Amino acid sequence: MKGTALITGGAKRIGKAITLSLAERGFDIALHYNRSGVEAEQLSQQVRAMGRKCRLFPCDLGDTKQALTLIEAVFDAFPDCNVLVNNASIFEGTDFLETDEATFDANFNVNFKAAFFLAQAFARRCKSGQIINIADARVGRTTTAHFAYTLSKKLLWEFTKMAARRLGPDIRVNAVCPGLILLPRGAEADSFEKLISELPLRKQGTPDQVAAAVCFLAEADYVTGEAIFIDGGEHLRS
């Protein structure tokens, strides 16, 4: 047994692919969800069918008080938890001049603040392990689209590097930066296809490719403070 991985927002989309890939590699799963209870239960059954343990942990990461209890609950159930994947995210986008306080707080509370305090609590409990933050290909560019969201992900990447330096050698901290993987909720397919056509590789990525990068980092014991861009070259654009 390799230990247990906690995946936040792990019931759907990219999180689901990460959950299944880590389970396939021998990790038991602590599966966090917020509103996706049905999907989380279905996924937990898949994980158990693979011969791995899986427990569900509902929590609203937008509420810091709730987020602070998550690591304690996970370690009570899985004392061997040694991987934290900060995958939970919201994608609420407005222009800088249109970003109100509620939008700013929603993005930063889930995309950065929860990840920060989950990582802190994890580091206090885990003697040897790794933290993998799911950032965004936008962190490699200076873009003003979806201003608060992009800024929160840029901060998550800077945190990754700082935490890697602070927590080594016992805990490694890395990031995966997905690009055009899945059509965002509410986005138009035509606009998404146009963005794909402008990439250096001119094709869409898959959740399984992101999951493969997570699994690599989970086992790469000489890598820390690094980001892997799964984005078809998006971060190379100006």
Q: What is the CATH number of the domain that holds 20?
A: 3.40.50.720
In this predicted structure, what is the pLDDT of residue 96?
95
Task: Output DSSP code: residue 6.
Answer: E
Residues near 81 by Cβ (< 8 Å), separated by ≥ 6?
3, 4, 5, 6, 30, 74, 75, 122, 125, 126, 129
User: Is the four-CA dihedral 118, 76, 222, 85 of positive or negative sign?
Assistant: negative
> Looking at the 3D structure of the chain, how many domains does it have?
1
Residue 135 placed within a domain: yes
Band of the pLDDT at 187, cuts 50, 70, 90? Answer: confident
Q: Three-state SS for 77?
A: helix
Residue 193 placed within a domain: yes
Residue 237 placed within a domain: no
Residue 78 placed within a domain: yes
Residue 85 placed within a domain: yes
Residue-range definition of the domain harbouring residue 88: 4-231
Residue 238 placed within a domain: no
The two three-digit tokens of residue 176, written as one number: 């995966």
pLDDT at 186 over 90: no
Cα-trace Rg, the chain? 17
Q: Three-state SS for 3?
A: coil
Q: Three-state SS for 230?
A: strand
In this predicted structure, what is the pLDDT of residue 159?
98
Phi, psi values for residue 141, rounded to 5°: -130, 165
Residue 236 placed within a domain: no
Q: Compute the mean pLDDT over every residue in the chain, rounded to the nearest whole number.
A: 95
pLDDT at 1 over 70: no
